[in-house]
Amino acid sequence: MKLRLSEYNPVWKKEFTKLQTFLSSILADLVIDIKHIGSTSVETLWAKPIIDIDIVYNKNFPEIKKILEANNYLYEGEKGIKDRHAFKRLKDDFYEHHLYVILENSESLLNHINLKRALQNNQKSRIVYNDLKKKLITQNNIDRELYTKSKTSLIQSILKEESLMKSIVLAGGCFWGVEAYFKQLNGVVATEVGYINGNGSPTYQKVSEGSGHAEAVLIRYDEDMISLKKILDHLFNIIDPTAINQQGNDKGIQYRTGIYNYAQEQFLFITNYISVRQKEYSLPITLELKTDLTFFPAEDKHQNYLEKNKNGYCHINLSTYKNVE
C-alpha cells in the first residue's frame, strides 16, 4: 500500500478523544495514561492520516493484553523496540490508528513525549519536519522502512536540541513587555513572542478579533543558571495573578495570564508554587495552566518589539527585575 501524507486535520484530535474514551472504559485503572502522540497530534503538521496512541502502564501488561485482545485488537509484539508493545485494530469501527502499550518512563515513551513537545514549541522544526516528509513521499511512496529511517537523523537532532535547554511558555499581558522583561535575566537563552491556546492558526488580527489565543512568550532557559522557581518569581513580579483577561491598561481574553507547555514532571511543582503564593492575595489566582498545546510565533514585527521601538508601549516596569532576589 502506498504511503499517504495529509495536511493537518482537526478531525484527528476529535477522533483521538473517541478512542481515548473507549480505551479508558475497557482498561479502567490498569493504565496510567493514554496519550495522543505522533504527527497527527501536533497542529499544522502534515502526517500519515493514522492516529498514534501510547497507553502508558507500569504493571499488569498480561491483563492489559488480554483485555485488548478481547476487544478486537491483535497483539503484534515489540517489533524490535524494548518496552513498547504494538496492537492492531481488527475492526474498522474507529478511525485508523496505531496502538502501543508502553512502559512508564521508558526511553521510547520519553522520546515520543519530548519530540511532540519540541515540535509544538518550535515552528521552525515543524516546517523542516513537514518539508522532509513531503520530499520523502515524493521520492518514494512505497518504502515504509526507508521513509522511517530517513526521518531518524532529523528527529534525533530535534530531541538533542530539546534536551539542551528547558522551555516554558508564559502569558502576562501584552507580549512586547513580557518578552523585554525576561530577556534581561541571566540564564534566559532565547525568547519568542506568539500565541497559544485558541482556535485555528492565529495572526495578530485574528487574536485581536477574538480567536481565543493568549499573547504569550516562549522562554528557553539554562537550568544551571536560572531555576523554574526563579522564572515563576519573575512572572509574579510583573503580573496581577488575580486579574481576569486584563493586565495594566490592556483588556481582552488575549491578555489573560497563564503558564503553558511545561513538562509534565513540572506540573506538581507549579501547582504547589501557586498554592503557596495564593496566601499573598485575597482574591483567587486565575492563571491558566495548560500543556500539550501548539505555540504559534507572532509576526516578525512583534519579535523583540521594544528593542526595535525604543519608545514603544509597555505595561511593565522593566527595571523591577532587580527586586527579585
> Which of these is catalytic: 51, 53, 174, 219?
174
Are 212 and 280 spatial neighbours (Cβ–Cβ below 8 Å)?
no
Question: Dihedrals φ, ψ of 137, to 5°?
Answer: -65, -40
Which amino acid is located at 44 in the chain? T
Q: Which three cell numbers, joined as nine digits, stand for 251?
A: 483588556
C-alpha closest to that of 16 among 29, 35, 33, 30: 35
C-beta neighbour count of 73 within 10 angstroms: 20
Are 33 and 100 spatial neighbours (Cβ–Cβ below 8 Å)?
no
Are 119 and 125 spatial neighbours (Cβ–Cβ below 8 Å)?
yes
C-beta neighbour count of 28 within 10 angstroms: 9
Q: What is the DSSP string of 257-281?
A: EEEES--GGGHHHHHHHHHHHHTT-
Task: End-to-end CA distance of the chain: give it in Å, rounded.
Answer: 61
Q: Which three cell numbers, joined as nine digits, stand for 295?
A: 505555540
CB contact set of 201 (below 8 Å; sequence gap of 6+):
43, 44, 296
Q: Is 314 a catalytic residue?
A: no
What residues are annotated to the active site? Answer: 174
